[in-house]
Structures are given as C-alpha cells and as structure tokens.
Structure 1
Amino acid sequence: MRIPALLIAATMALTVTSPAHADRRDARFDQPHEGWASSVLRPGTPQRVGLDPAPLDAALAQIERYTVPDATGHPLYAGAVTLFAHDGVVVTHQPTGWAVRYADAAGTELPEAQRVPMAQDTIFDLASISKLFTSIVVMRQHELGRFGLDDPVARHLPAFGVNGKESITVRQLLTHTSGLVAWLPLWSQYPDVPSRLKAVMETTPRSAPGTTYLYSDLNLITLGVLAEKWSGKKLDELVRDDITDPLGLVDTGYNPPAAKLDRVAATEYQAGRGIIRGSVHDENAWSLGGVAGHAGVFSTARELAVLGQAILNGGGYAGGRILREETVELMLTDFNQGFPGNSHGLGFELDQRWYMGALTSPRAAGHTGYTGTTLVLDPLSRSIAILLTNRVHPSRNWGSINPARRVAANGLAQALAVRPRHGTAWTPEADGGTLTTRDLPRRGERQQLSFRAFVDLDPGDRVVVEATDDGSTWREVHVLAGYGQRRWQKVELDLASATKVRWRYAQGTGYGGRGVYVDAVRVIDGRGVALDAEREPAGLHPEGWRAADR
C-alpha cells in the first residue's frame, strides 16, 4: 500500500525536534537561492527557520480584520485560510472567519449556530488556479513526446483550425498569446456539452496569434481537450494520475464527494443554484460537468502548498514526481518578454506585483482564482504564500480582494531578513524622507562617496542620491531603483566637492517592494576619510528613515 506524501511529511515532522535544529540561520531575502529545493513540508515556528514573526502576525491580523464589515457594509470576504511556508517549514496555517456565512445574494447572515467556521482543512473552489493543474498535465504529455510546444493546435485538433486559428500553437495557448477572446457564455447560449465545446473549437480570434497578450479561459479549455486527446483519458483522470496520486493528495480534485460537503467553503448565490457549495462556481465549468481546463479543481491550503513545494523542488516531492526538473524550469521561464507587464511561463504567471507584493521578482510564480484564491511561489527564498478565501460568498460584486493578496505576500517578504553588510543599515519609512550626512570638510577637489545598497523597490519608487555645495541647492548624483536582484551592491560616486550628501526616497503610486537599505557610508577626499558612518553613526541625520538590523 502506498503511503500518502502528507503522512510522510507528518511523520518526518516528528523527527525534526532536536535542539540542534532549534536555531536556524536567518531566512535571508538578500541571499537568493539558485537551483531547486529538496524539501518535504513539515510544521514549525517562524523562529525555527529564521523568520521574523512580527510581520507574519501583522499580516494575519489584517487578513482577519478583512472578515469584519467595513464602510461598504460588508467584509472583504467571509473567511480565509492563510498558509506561509519557508524552506520546507509551514510556519503559519491560520483559518479565520466563516466557510458558510450567508443565506442569500443580499448578504442575509445566517444565525451563528448555522454558520460553518473556516478550518485548516476547509476545501476551496480554486477557480483559475485550476489552470496550473491543466498546464502540468499538458506538460507531462509533452514529456511523453505527444506534441511540440510550437505545434499548431490544429495538427492535433483539426476542428480547432478554422476561422483564423490555423496557426495558433500550443505554446501560445499556455502563455495566453493565442488571440482568443477571454471567454464565451457557454453555459447560457449552448444547450449541452458537445455544443459548448464545439463553440470553443469554432470561435474566431480577437487578434492575430502572437501579437497580443489576452488572458483567456478558452486557451485552457482547449488545452484540456488536447490533453484528453493525447492521453486517451479524461481531464480529471489525468489530474488524479499525474498530480494528486503521486503527491499523495486526498482532498484535491474536481466535484468533491458528498461525504466532504461539510468541509467545503460556500461561494456565490446564483439564481437556480442557490448558495453554491460543493460544485464549481464558474458557470462554464459547471456547464461542462464540473471538469474543465480553466476551472473546477477544489483543494485545501495544505495540499495546494504540497503542489507548490513540488514545483520549488523541481517537480518532485516525498519520493513522488510529477514533472522533470527541466520541464519545471521551462514552465517558469518568461515567454512573454514582448508584452511588458504580462510575464508568463507555461501556465504559471510570473512577476505580478499586484498580488505577489514584495515577493515579486522575475522568478516569482503563481496564479489567482476568481473565487478569491491566491498562490505565490518564490524560488529565490524557497517560500510559499497561500491565501484562500471565499470572496464571492454571497456575491461576486462585493469587491476585489487584491489588497489582502498583497498583505499576505508582503507579510512573508518582510519576515525574511535583509541583514546589514557592515553594522547599521538605514531604510526609509513608508512615507519617504531623507538620510543626510553631516557637513563635509572641503579638503581639495577630489571627493568620492561609497556605500552599500540593497534595492528592491516597486518600479514607481526610487531613492535619489543628491549632493549640495551650498546647503540649499541639491543636484542629482545617482538613482537607486529596480527590484528582483535581491543582492547588496557597492556604489561609488564622484561628488565634485560637496558639502553634504543625502538619500531621498521618492515614493511612487505602485504597490511597494521589500525596500531599500543603505549601509557602510564613506566619503573619501584627497586627505583621506572625511566621513565613516559606521565609526561615526551621528554623521548621518535621518528624517523619515530608520536604523534597521534586518
């Protein structure tokens, strides 16, 4: 009998308790990993893996506050489960709020005795995170040699090759550059499953293949049909055989059985369906029998984390393997460099700050779901941030949960340390400010400023290094900007005999990043060291900046 991977993980957790493991080195944001992890998830504390618990606690507190009605008269979502993992350790697995809270579309609250609280093992409708499952089974077919990424889809599905779709490739479906429209009302305009799939096959592209990025459910519906054609199996069988069985997942799949209904989070109230619970929320997936390439998968936070860890591990987990390492690398490669802001691998979204927050980098991967689900994978720190909510319960019109998505990702990012290179580092507060040197002596014309800088800023933010000769007029010397490198850099600048230098934080209108840190400030002139801020801390005057040791 095969032992599920989750049971293996729980058993291993019992063995990792010796004092030798009590003190781990800092979880470093400024020391990115290369290569694959090799972890099996196990429970532990933030301190065990060097995380600062305070940002995690602050994020959890805000996520809980979002379950309380605000000025709109309703909460951001009824309930949530948050999971943070780093270096193979699940440091947070926190439910809050209600899996079932409302009786109707108007938001009539059920009596508390009839509500269902969120739990760690609550099963969620993952919505578009299902697209990752479809992409993985498609890439497994690629490993088996069933197709080439640049094969025209019509070569394998002749019915697809009409109305301008003859040249659309499999790669373009995976990267949403096929030109297909975002969706079609399959459930309401076509009477049965064959006619709905026929409508997808016969649709006309909105734009020429490869010319635009347009996120489309039809891409993944088509990929699901392709996977079934290549394998001779139904999509739910493929997900079971290629993903959930190898990973030992028991609560992940389509159409949850009635025996698990009491653990399923409710979604929307829809006319004719009532409060949806236990069947897929997406109308098109529902009309296709609950199994579709774009939506339909249900899972728990813990089991979704296992899938995420398998990706961070390069496709393997606890002795099971879903993909080869080279395939995972391909899936995490940006094929959309011609469409700035829409970085995309094969199935995985990449580098999306609007929900990845301060974990964002060109390597950050993940996906969101319309029902209120979020998965962020950070290979550089080997971290996972999961926020599962039922934000469409009872209505999809109650607003966006993107702020909560960023709160979760930012909390994990801030828990990762940025350690000073020399003694004390300085970082700006959220509202900006300046860090200014004391008056510098004028001792000849030669003057050089050197410092270490760590820069991980939103593209709209920057830190401007400025100098002045008279104390009132400042000139720009250098600009610190960028993100995703996650390494300290040494900066050396000629000042041309300045009397003061300052670092000025210019905040943009974006979502923010992990921040900028300045360290080891020195000014050298023709007679030697004019300022060494590590030996003379009072030589720097902060206004809106603070000293930081991580």
Structure 2
Amino acid sequence: MGVPPLDRSRERGVTYTGRKGGGQLSAPRLRIDSPERAGLDPGELKHLVREVRALTGGADPWAAGLVLVAGRGPVIAVEEAAGWAVRYASYDQEAETGVELPPGTWVPATVDTPFDLASLTKLFTAVAAVQQLERGTLGIDARVGAYLPDFRAVVEHGLTVRQLLTHTSGLRPEVALYSCPDDRARLAMLRAEAPESEPGEYVYSDVNLLLLQHVLERVTGRTLDVLVRDGITRPLGMTATGFGPCPGAAATEDQRWPWAKADRGMLRGVVHDENAWALGGVAGHAGLFSTGRDLAVFCRTLLAGGSYGPARILGPDFVELMLTPPGLGFALDQAWFMGDLAGRGAAGHTGFTGTSLVLDPATDTFVVLLANTVHPRRRPADNGPRAAAGTWMARAVRGA
C-alpha cells in the first residue's frame, strides 16, 4: 500500500508570489505539537520512540546516545533523547570493549546535544553550490577545470560540477590527506587526483565534495564555513550548527591505530573524520556539528521549497533540482536507510558517526536521527535502526 500525499492546504500561512523560482515564499516555522495535529498516528510514533530508546540499552548498545526528531508539515511530533553523550573513557583493544567512565561522570544526551554530523556536511556543501547555480556564478554542467585551472587532473579529464554533486566523477572514495606533512602537500595531492574509473559511473567519494569546496571558495572568494554560515545557518536561525570545535558535543571515538587512520585519543567536540581534521575542521565532506532541532529546520526549509519563516535560502525550482533524480548531493529513495519512506522521492543522507536525516516531499515528513555509534570505537555500520525509523514514520502517515 502506498503512502498518500499530504494535502498541503493544511499548511496555513503558506504564500508564494512572483515568477516561478524567483518570488518570495513565506513558510510557517516549526512548532512542537501532537501527532494528531501533524496528521500522524500517535500509536505508531509511540512504537518508533520505544524502538529508538532501546537502541541505547544494554552492555553493547547500537549507540551510546541519540536524539530523534520527526514531524510532518510545520509540526515536530517527536523530539526525544536517550542514552549518553559521553559514557566511555577509552577502548580496550585486548578486551574488545569500552572502558567506562565512573557512572557519576557520564553525560546524558539531551535534545539540545550537538553531534558530529560527518557526511551530513555534504548536504550543506551541496546547498551552498546550488545557491551559486541560482545566482549564475556556477554552471551545473561547467567543467571544474574552468574554475580550478591549477587542478591539472580534473582539467585533463574534463570533470563537471554535476559529476561532483552526483558522485559520477570516477574519483576514488577518499585520499589520505591526513598523511601529508602540511597544507601545501595536501593541496598538491588534490590537484593531482585523477579519476580511477570511467566518469559517469556512480562511485561515492568524499573527494567530490572536497573539490567542490575549492570551486565554491574560488568563485565566491569566501571560505566554506562562511558560505554555510551566511547562506544557510544564520538566515534559518540554526544557531547550534557550525564547524567545530564544539565543546559540548557528544563524544565520538577513541581514535587510535590500528583501527583508525590517526592517533588522537578520545574525541569530543572536534571533528572525527581524519581528513577533515587534517584540513583544520572545515571540509566539504565533513566537519559540521548540529542538533536535531536545527536539522529539523533544515529539512522543513527544503520541504517548503527553500524558505523558512521570512528567510529564503533557495528558490523552489532549485530545491526541485536538488531533489530530482539522481539528486544533487542528496541520496534519493534508498530503502537501506530510509525504510518504507523510500519509493516516492524521499531524500537524505547518512553520516559515519551515526547520523542520518530523511525528508519525504510526498508525505511532507522528516526524520532526523543523531547518534554516536562510534563511541567508543568505530565498527561496521548497522543501518537497520535508521531504516526502521523511516518505516515507523511511513506507518504513522498511513495510520493517521
């Protein structure tokens, strides 16, 4: 049985004037209200909350701590925190278990706890890029070499901006920038990076967003952190979102060899990703910290066509461009982490540290799940809980 589309006339206060893609859109701000007011089944959402809370229980939980925010239209119907933002002091390799801090020093996760977003950062870089498309300073099918003529490999292979945004450049998944002795060597590595497979083939790659960061900084004359702050988080009032350091964030990993790529000890408030760390914490693929509430605002903005309250960060046409297959920056209809929300144009992303978000234009719903699954040590990803959250949300829409 399919998920019925939401009657958008229920969103009172939505107005749009002017030519398509060029006018102003006033969309209501998020508010906390009952599932019924959001057009969601309260019983199904209770199941969702119960299942998510259980993920932090036991001696070997899925995550030490987590935050869940979910809603429909302008209503946040679920905002829950469970477990611990900080639980472990280190990881014991011989015992293969976390070394817990004294119980009285554990830090509980709250709905206001920031988390290291990891690859959810890519979505903000993508929005910053599409903003430049809208302004005409960047071309979607322009060659990257036109903006970065000193990056000889991308010039030689004729890679395009679209290929970076859709992971079809053929570039390998990552490069070892963390192994370079200084910024000059890191830049030289990126300039020499050439595709390993035929451009046009999908290969998910952090390098795409690192190159896109350089393109954006070159065409605007501003650093990525400034572009994200001035173009996205500040106008939307996302005051808890930004590149680190973020001292109050949930802890991540006891980062040490041989399981990690750097020897840094237990991390809290500094970026987990080794390449982003090597770049000073600001990178196109990782580095942002945020809260569940702030990411709900981000999701709501895109669902409302690029506007939130009086702020407009993109026109509706350009939001549609981002969320139309194959998606620019966003993954579309991926059941492996979206569950039953996938199938009718749902968009989202996951992050290595345990983060994910899904927004579904067909049902006007969003689900944000922030967790520190790498605390105290990284392990193979288990996407089952992410997919289950999407499935419970889809059931809540169907049962309303």
TM-score higher than 0.5: yes
Listed one character per residue, the Cα deviations across residues 94-150 of structure 1 (whole Å, up to 9, x for unaligned) are 000000011102301112211100001000000000000001111111122112111
* Other-structure match for 1:409: 390
Do structure 1's residue 224 and structure 2's residue 217 form an aligned pair? no
How is 1:16-35 mapped onto 2 (pairs within 5 angstroms)?
A: 29-32=3-6
How is 1:418-497 mapped onto 2 (pairs within 5 angstroms)?
A: none
Q: CA deviation at 1:87?
A: 1.5
SS at match of 1:48: coil
Amino acid at match of 2:68: T
| Alignment match of 2:61 (pick from 75, 79, 82) | 75
Do structure 1's residue 266 and structure 2's residue 251 form an aligned pair? yes
Q: What stretches of structure 1 move > 6 A for 4+ residues in a row? A: 34-37
Amino acid at match of 2:252: T
| Alignment match of 1:157 (pick from 148, 166, 183) | 148
* Other-structure match for 1:379: 361
Amino acid at match of 1:81: V
Q: 1 CA distance for matches of 2:149 and 2:304?
A: 37
TM (norm. structure 2) is: 0.90
Q: CA deviation at 1:194?
A: 2.6
Do structure 1's residue 313 and structure 2's residue 304 form an aligned pair? yes
Q: CA RMSD in A?
A: 1.8
The answer to whether the 8 Å contact 1:63/1:407 transfers is no
* Other-structure match for 1:187: 178
* Other-structure match for 1:208: 198
Q: 1 CA distance for matches of 2:206 and 2:314?
A: 24
Q: CA deviation at 1:221?
A: 0.4
Amino acid at match of 2:386: R
Amino acid at match of 2:254: Y
Do structure 1's residue 41 and structure 2's residue 30 form an aligned pair? yes
| Alignment match of 1:198 (pick from 182, 188, 194) | 188
* Other-structure match for 1:139: 130
Q: 1 CA distance for matches of 2:243 and 2:365?
A: 27
Q: 2 CA distance for matches of 1:412 and 1:47?
A: 13
The answer to whether the 8 Å contact 2:144/2:154 transfers is no
Amino acid at match of 1:160: F
Q: CA deviation at 1:209?
A: 1.3
Q: CA deviation at 1:33?
A: 5.3
Q: CA deviation at 1:40?
A: 1.5
* Other-structure match for 1:62: 51
Q: 2 CA distance for matches of 1:42 and 1:34?
A: 17
Q: 2 CA distance for matches of 1:386 and 1:244?
A: 17
Q: 2 CA distance for matches of 1:34 and 1:219?
A: 36
The answer to whether the 8 Å contact 2:173/2:205 transfers is yes
* Other-structure match for 1:476: none
* Other-structure match for 2:340: 358
Q: CA deviation at 1:163?
A: 7.1
The answer to whether the 8 Å contact 1:179/1:208 transfers is yes
* Other-structure match for 1:240: 229
TM (norm. structure 1) is: 0.66
SS at match of 2:348: strand
When residues 222 and 65 of structure 1 are mapped into structure 2, their CA distance, relative to the original with a 3 A threshold, is: same
* Other-structure match for 1:93: 79
Listed one character per residue, the Cα deviations across residues 224-263 of structure 1 (whole Å, up to 9, x for unaligned) are 1111001000110000110011101111010135xxx2x3
Quick check: 169-178 or 317-326, which moved more? 317-326
The answer to whether the 8 Å contact 1:153/1:166 transfers is no
Task: Please identify which structure carries the higher helix content.
Answer: 2
Q: 2 CA distance for matches of 1:376 and 1:287?
A: 29
Q: CA deviation at 1:275?
A: 1.0
Quick check: 245-254 or 36-45, which moved more? 36-45
Q: 2 CA distance for matches of 1:33 and 1:364?
A: 17
The answer to whether the 8 Å contact 1:236/1:253 transfers is yes
Amino acid at match of 1:44: D
Structure 1 unaligned blocks of 5 or more: 1-27, 335-343, 419-549
Do structure 1's residue 50 and structure 2's residue 39 form an aligned pair? yes
Q: 2 CA distance for matches of 1:352 and 1:294?
A: 20
Q: 1 CA distance for matches of 2:389 and 2:284?
A: 27
Q: CA deviation at 1:61?
A: 1.3
Do structure 1's residue 170 and structure 2's residue 161 form an aligned pair? yes
Do structure 1's residue 282 and structure 2's residue 273 form an aligned pair? yes
Amino acid at match of 1:372: G
The answer to whether the 8 Å contact 1:164/1:205 transfers is no
Q: 2 CA distance for matches of 1:380 and 1:393?
A: 35
When residues 408 and 153 of structure 1 are mapped into structure 2, their CA distance, relative to the original with a 3 A threshold, is: same
Listed one character per residue, the Cα deviations across residues 491-540 of structure 1 (whole Å, up to 9, x for unaligned) are xxxxxxxxxxxxxxxxxxxxxxxxxxxxxxxxxxxxxxxxxxxxxxxxxx
* Other-structure match for 1:103: 89
Q: 2 CA distance for matches of 1:93 and 1:163?
A: 44
When residues 116 and 165 of structure 1 are mapped into structure 2, their CA distance, relative to the original with a 3 A threshold, is: farther
% identity of equivalent residues? 47
Structure 2 unaligned blocks of 5 or more: 15-26, 93-97, 257-262
SS at match of 1:82: strand
The answer to whether the 8 Å contact 1:159/1:202 transfers is no
Q: 2 CA distance for matches of 1:68 and 1:143?
A: 46
The answer to whether the 8 Å contact 1:40/1:318 transfers is yes
| Alignment match of 2:287 (pick from 281, 296, 310) | 296
